[in-house]
Amino acid sequence: MLGELVEETFGSEPLVFLYGAGQMIPEFERQLAGKASGDNFAFGIKSGEAYGDHDPDALVMLPMSTFEMDGEVDHAMLQVGTVIPMSDDQGNHLNGMVKEVNAEGVLIDFNHPMAGIDLYFTGVIESLRAATATEMEHGHVHGPGGHHH
């Protein structure tokens, strides 16, 4: 079965990341271990090792009052497919996607958008270099393709 192309960097800026800093899916980094500049790669990652399997318990019906601000509900925000930043009762930030709006309230999906999807990657390692001490301290790449302070 052919999947959907989600992202492509060919002909544009390559994906740049600090290996081992936890920025990427652990299995993605494991698959790239030992590769050198110029090496091609192609591998799949099952959903459980990527963004997790789809969790039906992450679908939550919230009362319409949850979305009231100053006594009003912004119905334009409550469109199916809209991602709404929220927080739980412990202050953890979550993104929820509106799945349904009805008389009961709003059905929100707190699964990662890629949950339940097996991933497949192909590419070539354009270049490798040792991270600088500052990059290690900051936890991200600086310079071309990375973060600029």
- Sign of CA pseudo-dihedral 7, 10, 12, 16: positive
**Domain carrying residue 34:** 1-54+114-149
* Higher-scoring residue by pLDDT: 92, 1: 92
| Tokens 């993104």, residue located | 95
Same domain, 19 and 7: yes
CATH assignment of the domain containing 42:
3.10.50.40
Burial class of 65 by CB neighbour count within 10 A (0 to 12, 13 to 18, 19+): exposed
Same domain, 101 and 135: no
- Identify the pLDDT of residue 49: 96
Q: How many domains is the chain partitioned into structurally?
A: 2
- Identify the pLDDT of residue 26: 94
Please give the structure tokens belonging to residue 82. Answer: 């809209």
Confidence at 145, pLDDT banded by 50, 70, 90: low
Q: Does the predicted model carry a pTM greater than 0.85?
A: no
